[in-house]
Structure 1
């Protein structure tokens, strides 16, 4: 056996020993293709950063004060390891004859990642934990008309339609990438002409997420955002429009640019998530918290507590959908430790 083959053979045996410790048997999790792609991308970034750090891959994962980021990096690294095993090394512990040429690239990568996972399991986070800052804080200090102002500033840009749809639905970026169908139609369930927005849900699994949901506004709703979308639809054939963005990152950059141009002194960067928080706050202030859950695309009532609070509703500038429907019922919270709905504070 050649020296290289002996080295790889020894590395293969080490990987076989480390696999149970680094990747203990877990119940299979259903992940979306977007999540899997994000995990692989994150693992690739960590591997690149590891080359410049004395502690290697483990140090790259530990280089954060955010508990959430640390655990997300761990999950990404575990998924990348399993991906390597499934794609290239299934049966690694029992195979008698290895294809050394094929494994010469894969084995060192797997060995590095398994070693890092064992180290991380032993050490955990090493950076001081940084208190997580809620994204809801980004709404503080903004004028009551911030959504209208932002959409008006971006009305001549390539994302004008996406800005309106994001503001009126609170949709996730990934849902805008999938595309949202919008149309003017008579809605028999409410007995009026409406502007309906059909959202295909993201983060949907067996026990979470809404596959599809509908948000509808009255056509004669005086809110500037609704009126702007109605005018836009009236110019389209069939009075319908399919809004889709190509890049979530580019859309976020555009919202941040518009936000900075309007409010240079604002302490927080604006993102599409701000629309999501504000939309949730409006619905909670209306007194129908379950409608907020359906509209956000949640199956569980407890999840909505992370998005907006009723006192952040903007009084006369709050959105008031006439219909919010989702495929599945919202599961009630087990215990009501904190209220979802609070009376809005006077302006």
Structure 2
């Protein structure tokens, strides 16, 4: 989770670019997914259209952790040099020495590194390696969870493997999903659990504050949308009682904080609108538990995407309600956490090591 935090909190382009050349084998490819209706909050993030099955665009991981596509992040970072960067990476124009110098100035990296990202492809991801970095993170988190659940735990009644219950569990729910849809949702939840569980292990070693599993399960509680639950965590951490006491950086001057219109607060709390990541981060800036609450926001956004996907993929006449879907997501998250605990116990009892699964 610290690595995850570093990506978001990096202040220069070069600090991100230097992290890009990572091992491709840590990435786990996404299987095709078919939606039956458009997504709501993450409308274009997955790069999917209804009734067309194809793998989700992994750029959605950047959406989750940085609040927009990788191209949007590059546009913000490079400003008026963005078009020059695009021409440089896609090879549509031969850059002049002046253009290269300007790109190096903005990126604060060396020319060899910058040229290594030029690919000459006219469409598709502008900087595939940038997206690949987030795929590596997701792959590590997913493998961390799978490492503990790699064994077999037999049901004493029927003898089935309780750690491999996806089909049985999902087909018993009120909202029917295809296998590709519930497998994708399970993957989101497993990777999120893996990230939190890794964070718990690492933070115990250095006795630092961290976002824990109990807080994650609270975020999924169906009485409020995950963003509403996150706002409750923020108020609790700051000793506040009312939503109107929350403040964010002002658009005109992000260094100055101001109140939030009541209508906007209600929409964020209910999940009618998705709280922008930069607004969420400004809400907790310089507070005692800032890093923990940032990690909690990543989890709340992931839960929001899981809800969005279930609503869009549900084999029902109309989109199921948020509360019904979130009840399923919350229950499944608890089930997967139980799987982790059971799997870990099985690994320990077998005197095996799960580390080999991560390699």
- Per the normalisation by structure 2, the TM-score is 0.29
**Which structure has the bigger radius of gyration?**
1
Higher strand share: 1
Q: Which has the higher helix share?
A: 2
